[in-house]
Amino acid sequence: TLAALPKQLKGGKVDGHFPGRDVLQCVCDGKPLPKAASGAITVLVLCSSTERVFAVKAEIEESWKCKTLALAAHGGGRKRDQVARQAKTIAAGVSVAVATPARLLRLVSEDHLDPKNVSLIVFDLARDRKQRDVLTLQETRGDFFKMLRQQLATLLPGKDSPRALIDRSLALLLCGAS
């Protein structure tokens, strides 16, 4: 589960060298999360729906003891205004955000978020009431693979990448159902 994710990585100690590990290590150690750089998201969790975004947000805030930004269509008002509010928060830097693929695509396409400024993407594979997840629901799967092809593929390190490149790369992590 996402709540147990940091502790599942090598018995409470984050093993290996990958982007976003510092945030997970802080969660393991019970320390405050490091401040994200302006315009950056350190850990981004992708969910299948707005309903799931808020369930994951609550789960992370309770177990990780950190404030989490929801990036989904919510909060009333025009979607343009919602996006503007979310973009303003991202501009200040966000340690942990939870998003739907569609909202993430919109933020990227409107230049509110540069994919190079995301360190770790965690895919929430928990199934919804209809037994679908972010990669089995056709719409969210399409949005994800569109972004992967257009934005993220060049950011992923190769298996022989030097450590300096890995520090500036993107890591993808799949997290099973809760």
Positive/negative CA dihedral, 62, 75, 140, 111: negative
pLDDT of residue 164: 41
Query: Which residue in this structure is represented by tokens 């990669």?
Result: 135
State in Å, rounded, how far the first CA of the chain is from the last one. 5
H-state helical runs in 45-175: 50-64, 79-92, 101-109, 138-147, 163-167
CA distance 56 to 60: 6
pTM of the model: 0.83
Per-residue pLDDT of the chain (178 residues; tens, 9 = 90+): 677 777 666 555 555 667 777 788 888 788 888 889 999 999 999 988 899 999 999 999 998 888 999 999 887 778 899 999 999 999 999 999 999 988 998 999 999 999 889 988 888 888 877 888 888 888 888 887 887 777 777 766 565 544 444 445 677 777 775 4
Q: Is 77 exposed, middle or buried (0-12, 13-18, 19+ CB in 10 A)?
A: exposed
